[in-house]
A and B are shown apart, each in its own frame.
Chain A
Amino acid sequence: MNVQVRDTRTTRSEAASRLAIADCDIHPAHKSKRDLDPYLEQRWIDELRTFGPRRRVGVQSGPAYPKSQPNAARRDAFPEDGNAPGSDLDFMRRQLLDPYNIQLGVLNATGENGQHFQNRDLGNAHCRATNHWQIETFTKNEPRLKASLVVPYEDTQAGVAEIEHWAGDPNFVQIILQSRSADPLGNRRYWPIYEAAAAAGLPVGVHAFGFGGHPPTGSGWASYYIEDMVGHAQSCQGLLISMLMEGVFERIPKMKLVLIEAGFGWLPPLAWRLDKLWKRLRAETPHLKRLPSEYIRDHVWLTTQPMEEPEPREHVLDTFDWVGWDRMLFATDYPHWDFDDPDQALQVRVDEPRRRAFFYGNAAALYGVAAVA
């Protein structure tokens, strides 16, 4: 492997003159279990303290923590106050936003956000509170940060209501769902959520993990963490295939799907197989009017972290070519341990227009954020 080693200290000190970066997956965290209290009615605070959240699965979003590193985080991402990585905005500025010149950071509050609570009323209140908390703690105080709207997607009506409540609010640039939902995400019961998002002009982000109770792999519950880590690609393929075949993109022309932390090397061969088979089996899904790959080309974006690292590294460029350079979004996954460093993630030469598109322009266009010079 030919790994370039660059002195990031030197380059980071020149942050202001660096290429602007859009980081499409940052995970904010609570400082304390009481962070959401200001945004919850007393009835729900009491409920949480008295009964606790009832989850659909014991392992709420995959295997038990710590997942490879403490809190599944970079060991150097704990703020000075000792609270959870991702909980301190000032520390996030100093460690992430400033040195890498991140001009757009998209928050994905995928932790204890209420989406996975079986008590739907509690979960819905928790999602609403999480959205308030994202604004008050992060986006209101830092214009470079935008939030993903946490939507209680297993409760269709509440999900739609959450989108309509915040529609037009500039703090939010997409809605966020999670993979491994209770039903495959192409299921019609989710469609009103997608229609509401499209009407509000918000892309639908789906972050890998999720709480539906299904294992990440298609082969049952695995023994090792590494199996889950690569299994997320499987679960995300499943939800994409479901959306394609159920006709979500035919039904909702303005639907924009962003697959987050799902990998991307698998997408071209999946599209090849779908196209081949659909030509033979088309009569089963006559509601589709175009090849599956054409819907993918028009409706799907992907974040790259954790970056595929083939050898030779140039093969990753072939994959970008197949998916489309305008569909690839850079992400760090900060503060998690499988963080991709903007300086190191793409260790191959790329011409300037493509580099700018991948690291900023694609995200700015997708999320409706101003381009930078």
Chain B
Amino acid sequence: MSKHVVASVAEVPPGSRKLVNVKGRPIAIFNIDGAYYGLLNRCPHQGGSLVHGVLTGLVESDEPGKYCYSREGEILRCPWHGWEFDVKTGQSYCEPDKIKVKNYPVEVSPGRRVVEGPYIAETVPVTVEEEYVVVEA
């Protein structure tokens, strides 16, 4: 595992997402209310590009005719077949024990720490004044 600088914080504001490439792996970065989450950009079902998926809520029900809506904006639906995943963990809703999208830790680091290393910033020019999105992969 190594840490990779993939974007400046300004590039991925809250509510946005960005597709990055780390060690040849496509990783979808999501910023949800200032917190960053990284998922392999490939649905485990048939390979749909998850960065194109809609973020929605979790609708559940204890019995017909009643429902509970929660976790608004935290459930990622695959843009192809609509499989639901917890954007924070990559866990699937229908088969949480079997089906999971690989997730990658994402953190924000200030430029002054990034320039000290051991970060890998191959494609993003780094300055000490800015903050950066860092993926561990």
CB neighbours of A46 from chain B (8 A): none
- Cβ–Cβ contact B80 & A74, under 8 A: yes
Per-residue CB contact flags for chain A residues 69-86 toward chain B (1 = under 8 Å, else 0) read: 100001110000000000
- Cβ–Cβ contact A1 & B98, under 8 A: yes
Residues of chain B at the chain A interface (Cβ within 8 Å): 26, 42, 44-49, 52-54, 79-82, 95, 98-99
Residues of chain A at the chain B interface (Cβ within 8 Å): 1, 3, 5-6, 8-9, 68-69, 74-76, 337-341, 343-345
- Cβ–Cβ contact A68 & B49, under 8 A: no
CB neighbours of A337 from chain B (8 A): 79-82
Complex A-B: 5 CB contacts under 8 Å: A9-B26, A69-B82, A75-B52, A76-B48, A337-B79
Interface of A is mostly: loop
- Cβ–Cβ contact B47 & A1, under 8 A: no
CA distance A345 to B80 in the complex (A): 13
What is the minimal beta-carbon distance from B83 to any residue of chain A, in angstroms? 11
- Cβ–Cβ contact A74 & B48, under 8 A: yes
CA distance A339 to B79 in the complex (A): 10
- Cβ–Cβ contact A1 & B79, under 8 A: no
CB neighbours of A340 from chain B (8 A): 46
CB neighbours of A75 from chain B (8 A): 52-54, 79-80
What is the minimal beta-carbon distance from B92 to any residue of chain A, in angstroms? 10
The chain B residue sitting closest to A338, CB to CB, is: B81
Most interface-central of A1, A343, A345 (chain B CB within 10 A) = A1
What is the minimal beta-carbon distance from A21 to any residue of chain B, in angstroms? 15
In the complex, number of A-B residue pairs with CB atoms less than 8 Å apart: 49
Please give me the 10 A-B residue pairs with the lowest Cβ-Cβ distance, nearest first: A75-B79, A344-B46, A76-B52, A341-B46, A75-B52, A8-B47, A74-B80, A76-B79, A76-B49, A3-B44
- Cβ–Cβ contact B98 & A341, under 8 A: no
CB neighbours of B26 from chain A (8 A): 9
CA distance A1 to B96 in the complex (A): 12
What is the minimal beta-carbon distance from A310 to any residue of chain B, in angstroms? 15
CA distance A6 to B54 in the complex (A): 23
CB neighbours of A74 from chain B (8 A): 48, 52, 79-80
CA distance A76 to B79 in the complex (A): 7
What is the minimal beta-carbon distance from B99 to any residue of chain A, in angstroms? 7
CB neighbours of B49 from chain A (8 A): 76
CA distance A5 to B82 in the complex (A): 18
CA distance A1 to B99 in the complex (A): 8
CA distance A223 to B48 in the complex (A): 28
The chain B residue sitting closest to A77, CB to CB, is: B79
- Cβ–Cβ contact B82 & A1, under 8 A: no
Most interface-central of A75, A343, A345 (chain B CB within 10 A) = A75
CB neighbours of A343 from chain B (8 A): 47
- Cβ–Cβ contact A5 & B42, under 8 A: yes
Most interface-central of B26, B47, B52 (chain A CB within 10 A) = B47
CA distance A33 to B82 in the complex (A): 29
